[in-house]
Structure 1
Amino acid sequence: MPRQSRKVSGTGIHHVMMRGINHQNILEDPEDYYQFIATLDRMRVRYDYEGSPVGSNCTYYAYCLMSNHFHLLIREREESVGETIKRIASSYVYYYNRKYGRDGHLFKERFKSEPVNDMSYFTTLMRYIHQNPVKAGVVEHVKDYEYSSWGEYDGTVEPVFQICHTQVVLNRIPFTELDAWVNEPLSDDVHCLDIEDASRKRPSDDQVWQMIIEKSGVTNASAFQQLNEEVKRGVLRVLKEQGASHRQLERLTGIGRGIIQKL
C-alpha cells in the first residue's frame, strides 16, 4: 500500500513526532539530550560554503525530548519540514552510533507530522508537548523537566542558549496566561500525535471491561481493587497498550490516575 502524502499546513507550522526504531531509547544520558538540542540548534540555520549564516531553515516554537521519542513544534522556512527532520535525524544518528559503537538505523523510518492551521490548536500543542514528561510520570510539574523548551519560556534557560522563537508566542499570549494553560492538565480526550498509531480507536467501556474480565476474572471495580498489586498493574498495562485512556481506566477501575500514568 503506498504511503499517504503528508497534509499541507497553511501556516507552514507542523507538529512532528519521531520515535526510536522498535521503541528503543534514542537518548541514554544527559550528554545525549544536550547533543540533540545542539543538533536542533545547528539545523535551524542555513550556512554558506564558508560557514557563515545566510538564512533560516526553520523556526522552533516548542520541543520535548523523551527517552525513546521527541516532539517538535516547527515552522518551515527555506526548506521543507521533511528535509529539516531528515538532517536532524541523520546528524544525531551519526553521533549516537559513534558514541555507542553501533551501526544501522536508530529512528523509525518515517516521522509523524500534522499541520497546525490555527492558534487554538497551536496553544493545545504547547500544552501537550510540554506536559509529556508529566503525563509519563517522569516529573510532577512541567517546570521540573530539563529537556523541553519550557525553560526558554519561564526564563530558566539563558537567552544565549535558547533555540525557540519564544517571543512570537509571548507577544500573542502573556506568560502568566501561557503558564496557567501549560500547567492545566489536558483531557485524555484530546488527541494529538502520540507514540502509538493515531488512527487507532480507543476501546469502548464495554470492551475494556471484557478485557478486565478475561485477564483478571473479576467483574466489578471493587473486586479489581482487591487483586494482588502485580496482577492489577499487569492488567492495567495491557489495557493501556490496547488503547484505553488514563481517564477511562481511572473511571472504570477506581485506580488513581497517578498510579496508572506511571505504569
Structure 2
Amino acid sequence: MINTENFEFEGTYHIFSHVNGTEVIFREPSNYQFFLKKVEKYILPIAYIYAYCLLPNHFHLLLRFKNFDDVNSENEHQFLMKHFGNLLNAYAKAYNKKYNRKGALFLNAIKRKKISDEKYLLKVLHYIHNNPINHGLVNKIDQWKHSSYNSYLNSEKESKLNRKEIMRYFDSVEIFRNYHKSTIEYDFLNFE
C-alpha cells in the first residue's frame, strides 16, 4: 500500500501522480518540457532529483529532500507539500488554459513512498526508467525521450539531475545500462 506518511527533510521518496479520469496530462512534446521547467522551478529548490519519467497519463519522480534549518520540524511536511501543490497547480492551470478545459487535471494529491534502503532505491530507479516499456510505449528503454535514463548515458552533458549520487552504485555507465536491462520483480513496490 502507498505510504501516506509525512514528508521529511533529507528523506528519499518515490513520488507519482496520475491524470484525473482517462485523459492525458502530456498531449504533445512541449507539454513534457513545460512540466520539467515547472519541476525545475518548484522542486529543485527543495530536493535533489535522481530520476524521473513522464508518461502520457502519469509521472514518477525519485528524489531526496534537502534540509531547511529555518523551518520548524513540525511544519516539514506542509512546507514540502506546498511546493508540490504549486507544481501541479501551475501545470494544470496552464494546461487547462491551453486546451480550453476545466476541472482537476491530476487525481487527488501526489502519492509517495519513502525509500528505506539502497536495494529499494535501485529497484525504484529501475522501475521508473523501465516504465515506458512496461506500459508498451517503446520497445527499448532509451527510445523514451521523457525520462532521465538517457541523461545518465550522456554524463558529459549538463543536467539538473543528481546523477553523481546514483552513479556511485554503479562502477560504469555500462553496468548502469545492464542493470536497467535486467528483469526485476516489482510486486514489492505495491503502488495501489
TM-score surpassing 0.5?
Answer: yes
User: Could you tell me which residue of structure 1 aligns to residue 71 of structure 2?
Assistant: none
- What one-letter code is carried by the residue in structure 2 that aligns with 1:154? L
Letter in 2 for 1:151: N
Q: 1:10 to 1:37 in 2, by over 3 A?
A: closer
Corresponding residue number in structure 1 for 2:162: 165
Q: Counterparts of 2:190 and 2:23 in 1: how far apart (Å)?
A: 18
* CA–CA distance in structure 2, aligned partners of residues 24 and 131 of structure 1: 22
CA displacement 1:125-183 (0-9 Å, x = unmatched)? 11000000011111111111100011110108931xx2211111113322222211112
Among candidates 41, 65, 70, match of residue 54 of structure 2? 65
Q: Which has the larger radius of gyration?
A: 1
Aligned to 2:115: 116
User: Residue 182 of structure 2: SS of its match in structure 1?
Assistant: coil
After superposition, the C-alpha distances for 1:103-127 in whole angstroms (9 at most, x for unaligned) are 2210011221110021100000110
Unmatched tracts of structure 2, length 5 or more: 69-75
CA pair 75-184 structure 1, distance change in 2 beyond 3 A: same
2:175 counterpart residue number: 177
Q: How big is the alpha-carbon RMSD for the aligned residues of Structure 1 and Structure 2?
A: 2.2
Alpha-carbon separation, structure 1, partners of 2:91 and 2:6: 26
1:191 aligns with 2:191: no
Q: How many residues align?
A: 179
SS at structure 1 position matched to 2:26:
coil
How far apart in 2 are the matches of 1:97 and 1:181?
39
Aligned residues with identical type, % of pairs: 23
Gap regions ≥5 residues in structure 1 = 46-55, 199-263
| Bigger relative contact order, structure 1 or 2 (CA pairs below 8 A, ≥6 apart) | 2
The 5 A counterparts of 1:1-263 are 5-6=4-5, 12-45=11-44, 56-77=45-66, 78=68, 80=77, 81-155=80-154, 158-159=157-158, 162-174=159-171, 175-187=173-185, 190-192=187-189, 194=191, 198=192
For the structure 1 residues 193 and 69, does the alpha-carbon distance in structure 2 shift closer, same or farther, using more than 3 Å as the test?
A: farther
1-side partners of 2:9 and 2:122: how far apart?
17
- Distance of aligned partners of 1:154 and 1:193 in 2 relative to their CA distance in 1, 3 Å threshold: farther
Query: What do the CA deviations read for 1:27-54 (whole angstroms, capped 9, x no partner)?
Result: 1010111111111111234xxxxxxxxx
Q: Do the aligned partners of 1:7 and 1:115 also contact (CA within 8 Å) in 2?
A: no
Q: Distance in 1 between matches of 2:104 and 2:16?
A: 17
CA separation of 1:14/1:88 partners in 2, compared to 1, >3 Å: closer, same or farther?
same
2:187 match: secondary structure: coil
Q: TM-score under structure 1 normalisation?
A: 0.62
Query: Is this contact kept in 2: 1:61–1:73, CA < 8 A?
Result: yes
**Contact 1:131–1:185 (8 Å) recurs in 2:** no
One-letter amino acid of the counterpart of residue 136, structure 2: G
Compared CA separation, residues 13 and 138, structure 1 to 2 (3 A) = same
1:10–1:42: structure 2 CA closer, same or farther, 3 Å change rule? closer
